[in-house]
Every structure is written in structure tokens, then in C-alpha cells.
Amino acid sequence: DAGVTQSPTHLIKTRGQQVTLRCSPKSGHDTVSWYQQALGQGPQFIFQYYEEEERQRGNFPDRFSGHQFPNYSSELNVNALLLGDSALYLCASAPGGTRGTGELFFGEGSRLTVL
């Protein structure tokens, strides 16, 4: 049973560019959330998707956007990259509705470096 998978694992961009990160949830999970983890810090919640809609959003600018597809996979897009966007981006999935127990399953993350 595949867990949460993310791609790419590492990428380097320059300021002002745009990036798309991808996530496939664990089998049987239909809600996906994204977190930004700066070096030496705890993860910060970006947003969560369920039934192809953004359900919750953290304190991140509109440069951060996302999408969930009918197969429950998700993308995180960041426009106009800043140096401060350099971080590990984590995707987490869980079963939605009343099936959830609160536990999130995390992928290994995408390490973004902005030069």
C-alpha cells in the first residue's frame, strides 16, 4: 500500500519564478493538506483540500494556490517566488468525513530552494 508520495523531491528556482509541487494521497484518503516547514522550524499549515475545494487556509499570501483533482491528488503552486519561500513543503492526507481519526499521514516532502 503506497503511502503519500510527493514530487519532485528537490528543486531549485530563482526569485520571481513559479513552481508546482505534486502530491498523491495514501490509498483510501480523500483529503489533502499542505504545510511549509522552514529550516529548524515546525510545519506551518498552508491549506487543505477536500472534495476538490479549499476548505481551510492558513496565513499565507495569494501567491500560494492549490488544486485537488478528481482522483484526490493535489498540486501546490507558488507564484513570484521569494527567497523566504525556501523550505520543505509537506503534503499530508487523511480520510475525509466521519472516517477520520485526526491522524494525518505525511509524505517525505519537496525541498524548494529559491536563489
Partner 1 sequence: AQTVTQSQPEMSVQEAETVTLSCTYDTSESNYYLFWYKQPPSRQMILVIRQEAYKQQNATENRFSVNFQKAAKSFSLKISDSQLGDTAMYFCAFMKLSGGSNYKLTFGKGTLLTVNP
Residues that bind partner 1 (CB under 8 A): 31, 33, 35, 40-45, 48, 50, 55-56, 58, 88, 90, 92, 94, 96-97, 100-109
**Shortest separation between residue 21's beta carbon and partner 1, angstroms:** 14
Round to whole Å and give the CA distance between 46 and 9.
19
CB of 7 closer than 8 Å to CB of 19: no
**Shortest separation between residue 50's beta carbon and partner 1, angstroms:** 4
Round to whole Å and give the CA distance between 104 and 83.
29
Nearer to partner 1, 42 or 84 (CB): 42
